[in-house]
Structure 1
Amino acid sequence: MSKRNFNKMDDDQIRGSSRVLRSSLAKKGGHLDEKFKKRKMTDLDPRSSQVRNQRGRLNQTKVKGTKSLAEKHVSTDAKKGKQGTKTTVWSIKDKHEYKIQLPLSVDTSISWITGCHLMDSGEIIMTDFYNKSLKKLDRTSATVTVCDLPSIPFGMCYIGNNTVAVSLGQKLQFANISGDMNLMQSVDTDHYCKGLTYHDSKILTVNDNSVFIHNYNGKQERCLFTYDSNAYFQGIAVSDDGQRIYIASWNIGLVTIDNKGNHLFTLSDPELNDPFRLSLDNHGNVLICYPHSNIVMQVSPDGKNEMGRIIKATDSIEWPNSLYFDRNTSSIIVGCGGSAYLYVFDLK
């Protein structure tokens, strides 16, 4: 683990690293080429030339003994509840950016954020794909705390009690995010885990075509839903009442099912490429980030109607890869791929 001021990496160094990574990912004209667009996140091998093999951490994470996760917790977002129906589209009031890139002695690649969560303390927890780490941003003291992970993280969710679950391919890794952060127990799964979310003491994960339910300790209980073709599921979210489950599919769009596993609706937009991560606002609307299109879309609670674009391609962010809606301040946190910055948009 290491704690460093995130402003210490030179901006020219950051921009250079970003250009190298984006070039290696065959990015052309603001969008990835067709060959890369058909690849899955599971195909991005950290052993490739895109990622340095020498980590060079200032302090290596010491994995402490397994801790019990027997306590049950209710989603903190669900506790905050809805504040009536919002039929208009959120718009941007202000934009803030926070540098999350650490020096090359710690971060061996440009940051690629695949998950984020805002704590009640105001700290932001993130998973950094290429740097194989958990990061905690303290915006007040301008510091980033880093906890090494044993493999590349595809996503994360907060499960209460200062604990997050991180998807590492065929493993769920738990971590205590208080203080300097430390790894806890891990659980092997018989399927690949990518996006994940937490609701009512259950962890829901997705692989390419299916939704799985795990208990609070990570043990798989059952497969809830399977799509009959290559959907390439990426992200998942659950309505506050637990009645609807929303799934972001690279190949299809937004898939909505009920909590019994019945398909309700599929929303597709031929103009948009590859929805990736989801978050819900305090009115039950679904917010979806589209990395290839550089937008965040707002969809109605029933998953049937696009209400409009909150973040547009003209808002100067690239590859929005993860997002979290803060119900206390009506703002969204956006983590990007190949960026040294984390963005917070105040909405109105």
Structure 2
Amino acid sequence: MASNLSSSVYQTSDLIHDFACSPCKDDGLNNEAQFFCDQCRKYYCNNCVAHHNKLFRTHSVLGKQAVSKWVGYAGLSPIEICDKHGDKKLDMLCEDHDELGCYVCVSLTHRMCQSIKHIPDIAGKVKSTTEFKQFPSNVRLTSSKLQSLSDKTLQNKQSLKDAGKKILAEIKSLRKELNNTFDELETKTNTILQNQLHDADEFLQEDIDKCTQLHEKLRTFLEAIQSQQDDTSYIAYRKCKDKMREAESLIQELSVKPDTILTFHSDPRIEQFLYGLKTLGGTLAFPCKHSWKYIPTSHVFNVKNRSKSIVKMQSDVHECFIGGICELPGGEILITDMKNYKVKLLNSQYQVTATCDFPVNPNYICHIAGNEAAVTLGYEGVHFITFTGSTLTVTRKLSFQHLCLGISHHNGNLYVGSLTAIYHYTMSGQFIGKIYEDKSSFYTISRFTVSRDGTTIFIPTSECKKLATIDTSGNILSTLQDPDIDWPISVCVSDSGHVFVCSQSSSKVTQIDKEGKHSLATLAIQADGLKNPDVIWFTRQTHRLIVGGEVNELSVFELE
């Protein structure tokens, strides 16, 4: 037992009971309780319960068979009750383990610990410390953050329900379109059927008409042959012989002619396609409890695998120049190909599946919500594109009085960068204010990234060879200059707050701390295939870094 264990620990018995008799305990005795009184909220041994029952005949006493109902009725507040021994009071502190406990915990778990303190002996001293006095405000601040997160999650739940209703409407709309398509196919098939029936009917009617005509001719000639006039009979005989040859020829032809039949063979591709389907489409909820894994912000990544993916298309006139990357909720990747005036959609294998052409070169791109993204086009403003089905479509445009280069979005706030400033707008294009400006050089703000929580903005200032971190009011929080970060050109941030910088002159990818103050690790260099990289992106679902530039391929780094 610890040398400085308080003398207040019970000295009467070494036996440890789950529940000790309350009256005996008050007398300094250690007897096991066999009963519990709900009204008195006390425990009684066999001897004491007899006295209790004489005094309180109407009280309901619970025996050991109802021991589960005893727990927590120790005459203590919930805060004072020992989590491990429900009827014991927390009155000890093990400083070795920084752990609260009761005297039973000390006897069983902390017998060999060196520093055991009696809580009444230290409680008064702690209350006078600065930390204790400031603690309530810290708790209130944390509680406020928890409430904000709870409210945000509640809003997320509601938006999820709204998204579910919208998707259900899309499914019904798709089903209606499919029904319309099948109705059209049925109508066309019926038209073909009716035409074939008509043609077959005419074809058979011709044979019937031939038979009928010959039958009538032969009947007429037969009647004439049987007449009493020799000349008429002879002429009829000769003509009838000709018709007989014609009839025999027709009989021979029609006797071997097969019956006309009509059959229907369904297009096997329809059944094969439909049978191969399990659903009308895919739905994805991300993140969810099966796919979301929190990675501490302090975690420093390593590169597990490297690969390349070609994004140049046969229809591309020029070599690719990938200047912007963002990700849709389904895991699809959008990239801007500045030289070919296109935004390209990539699937999970980083293959181009759709494109959207623009009149001028698209600069940078950011995800807005759902399958919508925003693209900057210099003096042409910002164009919003939507991925629907298998196509990319421009849905609306915003015009501004300044050059549009960098762009980022968070929670309905649109941030657009020019050469030296960052402007804040609503999603409808209403100007809120200029939040940051740096005129130390001609070209200080190429692009920037808002953190996932929307509190900070990372600005790679290429010409000044530094990374600036500001808040959304424009206050500079930190500035980072590092030999590895030479001409920083692009920054991306993970959901958990990990920050990655892509540097053009040094051809390196660097992980930095979330405050933007220190370099943590170099993840990729020129030897890994990087050559003047221009843009970087961290994929939310696969935890990969995608790096693009003035090349026809993307460099993909799988992290761990």
State the TM-score, normalizing by the size of structure 1.
Answer: 0.72
Deviation digits for residues 26-54 of structure 1 (CA, Å, limit 9, x no counterpart): xxxxxxxxxxxxxxxxxxxxxxxxxxxxx
Q: Does structure 1 residue 247 correspond to structure 2 residue 445?
A: no
2:507 to 281, 294, 299: 294
| Distance (whole Å) between structure 2 residues aligned to residue 292 and residue 114 of structure 1 | 16
What amino acid maps onto 2:304 in structure 1? K
Q: Does structure 1 residue 147 correspond to structure 2 residue 359?
A: no
Aligned CA distance change for structure 1 residues 218 and 309 (closer, same or farther; 3 Å): farther
Comparing 230-239 with 159-168, greater Cα deviation is found at 230-239
> How many angstroms does 1:92 deviate by?
1.0
Q: Is the 8 A contact 2:331 2:541 kept in 1?
A: no
Q: Is the 8 A contact 1:117 1:158 kept in 2?
A: yes
Greater strand percent: which structure? 1
> How many angstroms does 1:143 deviate by?
4.0
For structure 2, which runs of at least 5 residues remain unmatched after alignment?
Answer: 1-158, 163-284
Q: Percent identity?
A: 26
2:387 to 148, 169, 177: 177
1:12-91 pair list within 5 angstroms: 83=294, 85-91=296-302
What amino acid maps onto 1:340 in structure 2? N
1:138 alignment partner in structure 2: 347
Deviation digits for residues 137-167 of structure 1 (CA, Å, limit 9, x no counterpart): 1245944312101211110001013111111
1:192 alignment partner in structure 2: 403
Aligned CA distance change for structure 1 residues 237 and 143 (closer, same or farther; 3 Å): closer
Deviation digits for residues 173-207 of structure 1 (CA, Å, limit 9, x no counterpart): 11112221111221111111211111111111212
Q: Is the 8 A contact 2:484 2:508 kept in 1?
A: no
Aligned CA distance change for structure 1 residues 285 and 342 (closer, same or farther; 3 Å): same
Aligned CA distance change for structure 1 residues 77 and 308 (closer, same or farther; 3 Å): farther
What amino acid maps onto 1:285 in structure 2? H
Secondary structure of 1:177 counterpart: strand
> How many angstroms does 1:305 deviate by?
0.6
Aligned CA distance change for structure 1 residues 141 and 118 (closer, same or farther; 3 Å): closer
What amino acid maps onto 2:496 in structure 1? H
Deviation digits for residues 55-102 of structure 1 (CA, Å, limit 9, x no counterpart): xxxxxxxxxxxxxxxx9x9xx999999935343432210122221101
> How many angstroms does 1:313 deviate by?
1.9
1:235 alignment partner in structure 2: 447
2:493 alignment partner in structure 1: 280
1:162 alignment partner in structure 2: 371
| Distance (whole Å) between structure 2 residues aligned to residue 293 and residue 183 of structure 1 | 36
Secondary structure of 1:282 counterpart: coil
| Distance (whole Å) between structure 2 residues aligned to residue 78 and residue 233 of structure 1 | 32
Secondary structure of 1:296 counterpart: strand
Deviation digits for residues 191-236 of structure 1 (CA, Å, limit 9, x no counterpart): 1121111111111121222111121133432111112411521221
1:307 alignment partner in structure 2: 520
After the TM superposition, which segments of 4 or more aligned residues of structure 1 sit over 6 Å from their partners? 76-82
| Distance (whole Å) between structure 2 residues aligned to residue 309 and residue 247 of structure 1 | 19
Secondary structure of 1:89 counterpart: coil
Q: Does structure 1 residue 216 correspond to structure 2 residue 216?
A: no
1:114 alignment partner in structure 2: 323
| Distance (whole Å) between structure 2 residues aligned to residue 219 and residue 166 of structure 1 | 17
Secondary structure of 1:192 counterpart: coil
Q: CA RMSD in A?
A: 2.6
Comparing 166-175 with 308-317, greater Cα deviation is found at 308-317
Q: Is the 8 A contact 1:265 1:304 kept in 2?
A: yes
1:39 alignment partner in structure 2: none
| Distance (whole Å) between structure 2 residues aligned to residue 291 and residue 140 of structure 1 | 26
Aligned CA distance change for structure 1 residues 219 and 110 (closer, same or farther; 3 Å): farther
1:326 alignment partner in structure 2: 539
Size of the aligned set, in residue pairs, is 272
Rg comparison, structure with higher value? 2
Q: Does structure 1 residue 204 correspond to structure 2 residue 412?
A: no
1:123 alignment partner in structure 2: 332
2:554 alignment partner in structure 1: 342
For structure 1, which runs of at least 5 residues remain unmatched after alignment?
Answer: 1-70
What amino acid maps onto 2:387 in structure 1? I
Q: Is the 8 A contact 2:452 2:495 kept in 1?
A: no
Q: Is the 8 A contact 2:484 2:510 kept in 1?
A: no
